[in-house]
Amino acid sequence: MGSEVASMQGGRRFEVTTQENVRLDRWLSGQLPGFSRSRWQKAIRSGEVKVDGQKVSPREMLSTGRIVEIAASALSMEDDSEHPPEPQRLPLDVLWEDDDILVINKAPGMVVHPGNGCRDGTVANAALAHCGSLPNLGDPLRPGIVHRLDKETSGVLILAKSVRGGAGLFEQFKERNLEKEYLAVIQGVPLDDEGTCEGKIGRHPVRRTRMAVTEDGRPAVSHWTVMGASMADNWACVRVKIETGRTHQIRVHLSEAGFPLVGDPLYGYRKNRSGGLSRKAERVLLHAARLTFHHPVDERKLTVEASIPMDMQPFWEEVCGG
């Protein structure tokens, strides 16, 4: 991981010794596990953590020989928000489970793990109650969590029930050795039956709560296919397969292409531009329908599907016949 090379006015200074590239926030969580990853992210953004003397982002990739400097303020500040989630008996739609993994159909409106003022009612809380315990995979706020879905997105979500399960799943997400398929309802009707979006995605330069297609963003690829459309009401049902998993990727890519997701005003949806069923949307109509991966322990190839949620079914029934 890293070796301490010097102290600095109450702070700490490390030389990275890891043989593989690793994100700064994850490296810090492993090197100094007393703080959660979200706490380290705050310290990095505030400049309390620097790499090679420079302020960087939590996503900065570390390699052997780089120097990480941690200010005393980052080490002494109380970790006020970081209390591991408690088990809560909440509805959980289990699609697949064994000793190493748990796959659920996440309900729309459910947050995956505590953070940003949300302390309970999350998938992590529900999964802890269901499983009894979940492994700490580097962040105590995210036991068992190996990937996320947005709060309003429904569908297939996989968690690790063991450390070996988490390691194997993290590797597959890192190497993109998974197949991820989503269903969505978009505003507008494309002229083409299918297409590919390849814009790089990064933080919006002005509106920091949004992502955007930017020149210095991270590579992202989304393939979409029209499943059916309502020309009269100006919306369409699409299937989207993604090669990468950037924050808000599908929402950003389809909005950039001129087709924001129904129910997504953050990325351009306007209620008065579509009619019929679209006027009743109460969330972003995006559903993680299918995930294909290899079991992290025995390497079986598994495909897990989550049926279309009730609020999206009428769209498919109207233009796709069910």
Cα 211 off chain centre by:
13
Phi, psi of 139 (to 5 degrees): -145, 115
d(C-alpha 261, C-alpha 244), whole Å = 19
Reading the block at residue 289, the tokens are 């329908």
d(C-alpha 178, C-alpha 292), whole Å = 6
- Sheet of 49-51, strands arranged across: 2-8, 11-16, 67-70, 49-51, 54-55
Using the Cα atoms of residue 159, residue 161, residue 167 and residue 169 in order, give the sign of their dihedral: negative
| Catalytic option among 100, 139, 150, 233 | 150
d(C-alpha 172, C-alpha 295), whole Å = 10
Number of H helices, E strands in the chain: 7, 18
Reading the block at residue 140, the tokens are 């105590």
- Long-range contacts from 273-277, C-beta under 8 angstroms, 24+ separation: 273/187, 273/188, 273/234, 274/187, 274/188, 274/233, 274/234, 274/235, 275/232, 275/233, 275/234, 276/230, 276/232, 276/233, 276/235, 276/318, 277/230, 277/233, 277/235, 277/314, 277/315, 277/318
- Residues ≥6 apart with Cβ < 8 Å to 301: 292, 293, 294, 295
Whether 150 is catalytic is yes
As annotated, the active-site residues are: 150
